[in-house]
């Protein structure tokens, strides 16, 4: 299927690895021009280097950074058609999961909301005028199944993602009549650095469960989260859905929440 993305301009945050890297790779393969934002580059991102890709080093905890990233899209490629707010998860220097409401401090809450909600708010604020100038566009916000089905862990993260879902619905109501579609992709556990890096979620859960990190990712986590597929999500599976939502092929899809979560969400 031709997703009709050739020549369109996209901004992808959290682009150096995991889901973000898969999204960048997929959009480039579909002919889009991409501004990839992350604190630093990566071998995977470097492998995609070319005239259609610009990497912008950015710390999205800086309130000015999202607008600066969006401005590069206009400077490099003349405008903006697609915004993928993928950056999220543990803020820099933070390891999750946390297992109690009492665990995060006020500062933890502030940092979690800065990274998972306010950075997206600021990116959208900068993107909308550029999209309106081109007659419309697509915004995809990457959220989590725990926004709708929270568990007694990572309460600050759950709340921030619930806010992102509400933001998506509100933006869709206001801007869909002007040609800007806004949708959410809600993830389950994805086999990314959040899980796989040393000191990441797999190691933390392994210490709690008295097992090893590979067993956590292969067996313990899928069972603990009651994943119907029995495995963690692959980043490319997320990227494929995001690319479709970014595409004009999804012209009548807005204000929707797509679960790519291995069957984590059980609600009707």
The string of DSSP codes covering 69-132 is HHHHHHHHHSS-SEEEE---SSPTT-------TTSS-HHHHHHHHIIIIIHHHHHHHHHHHHHH
Confidence band for 268, pLDDT divided at 50, 70 and 90: confident
Structure confidence by residue, pLDDT tens digits, 6-52: 999 999 999 999 999 999 999 999 999 999 999 999 999 999 999 99
Structure confidence by residue, pLDDT tens digits, 132-168: 999 999 999 999 999 998 888 899 999 999 999 999 9
Give the span between the Cα atoms of 265 and 133, in whole angstroms: 38
**Set 118, 157, 194, 264: catalytic member:** 157
Give the span between the Cα atoms of 108 and 90, in whole angstroms: 10
| Residue ranges of E strands in 106-242 | 137-144, 180-187
Q: Is 175 a catalytic residue?
A: no
Residue-level pLDDT at 76: 98
Give the span between the Cα atoms of 39 and 20, in whole angstroms: 12
Q: Is the Cβ–Cβ distance between 216 and 205 less than 8 Å?
A: yes
Taken in order of first residue, the domains within the chain and their CATH numbers are: 9-188+234-257 (3.40.50.720), 193-232 (no CATH)
Give the span between the Cα atoms of 266 and 268, in whole angstroms: 7
Confidence band for 80, pLDDT divided at 50, 70 and 90: very high
Confidence band for 198, pLDDT divided at 50, 70 and 90: confident
Across 20-24, 42-46, 195-199, 233-237, least confident range: 195-199
Residue-level pLDDT at 95: 85
Terminus-to-terminus CA distance in the chain, angstroms? Answer: 30
Is the pLDDT at 96 greater than 90? The verdict is no
Place of tokens 């081109």: 134
Residue-level pLDDT at 165: 98
Span 75-96, average pLDDT:
95
pTM equals 0.95
Tokens of 39: 């604190």
């Amino acid at each position: 299927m031709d997703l009709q993305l050739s020549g369109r301009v996209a901004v992808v945050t959290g682009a150096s690895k995991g889901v973000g890297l898969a999204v960048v790779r997929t959009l480039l393969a579909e002919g889009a021009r991409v501004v990839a934002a992350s604190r630093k580059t990566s071998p995977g991102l470097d492998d995609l280097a070319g005239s259609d890709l610009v990497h912008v080093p950015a710390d999205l905890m800086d309130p000015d950074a999202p607008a600066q990233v969006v401005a590069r899209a206009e400077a490099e490629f003349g405008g903006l058609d697609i915004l993928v707010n993928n950056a999220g998860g543990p803020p820099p220097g933070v390891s999750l999961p946390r297992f109690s409401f009492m665990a995060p401090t006020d500062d933890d809450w502030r940092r979690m909301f800065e990274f998972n909600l306010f950075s997206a708010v600021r990116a959208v604020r900068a993107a909308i005028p550029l999209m309106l100038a081109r007659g419309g566009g697509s915004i995809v916000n990457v959220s989590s199944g725990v926004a709708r089905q929270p568990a007694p862990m990572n309460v600050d993260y759950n709340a921030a993602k619930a806010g992102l879902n509400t933001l998506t619905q509100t933006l869709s109501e206001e801007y869909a009549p002007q040609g800007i579609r806004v949708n959410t992709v809600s993830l389950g556990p994805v086999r990314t650095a959040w899980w796989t890096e040393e000191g990441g979620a797999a190691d933390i859960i392994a210490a709690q469960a008295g097992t090893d990190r590979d067993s956590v990712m292969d067996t313990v986590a899928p069972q603990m989260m009651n994943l119907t597929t029995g495995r963690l999500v692959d980043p490319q599976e997320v990227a494929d859905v995001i690319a479709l939502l970014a595409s004009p092929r999804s012209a009548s899809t807005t204000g929707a929440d797509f679960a790519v979560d291995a069957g984590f969400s059980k609600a009707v």
